[in-house]
Amino acid sequence: MVSLETEICACNNLSVKDIKECIVTNNYTTLQELLKNDVCPMGDKCEACRDEGINNDGLNIPFVLTRVKQGQL
């Protein structure tokens, strides 16, 4: 299991926990909704957090969204 404190979006300084809270609070269900939101911007400055992850480890915004939708986070 990934730590909730793991940084996912370095450009916006967002951790797994921050992204999870944004998804749950705003009822985002798609990656497009999440990336285009103005409440908690993410993935808007570089593409690493949307693709391979900031550490090339696969931990990215789509990963967090999927785990939240599956109830794993």
pLDDT in tens, 40-51: 999 999 889 999
Q: Kindly state the percentage of the chain with pLDDT values over 70.
A: 100
- Scanning the structure block, which residue is given the tokens 């730590």? 3
Distances in Å between the Cα of 40 and the Cα atoms of 12, 13, 18, 44, 50 are 9, 11, 9, 11, 15
pLDDT in tens, 19-31: 999 999 999 999 9
Distance in angstroms (rounded) separating the CA atoms of residues 52 and 25: 26
pLDDT confidence of residue 1: 76
Looking at per-residue pLDDT, the higher value among 19 and 1 belongs to 19
pLDDT confidence of residue 36: 94
Mean pLDDT confidence for 51-59 = 91
Enumerate the H helices of the chain as residue ranges. Answer: 16-26, 31-36, 61-69
Distances in Å between the Cα of 51 and the Cα atoms of 55, 57, 61 are 11, 10, 8
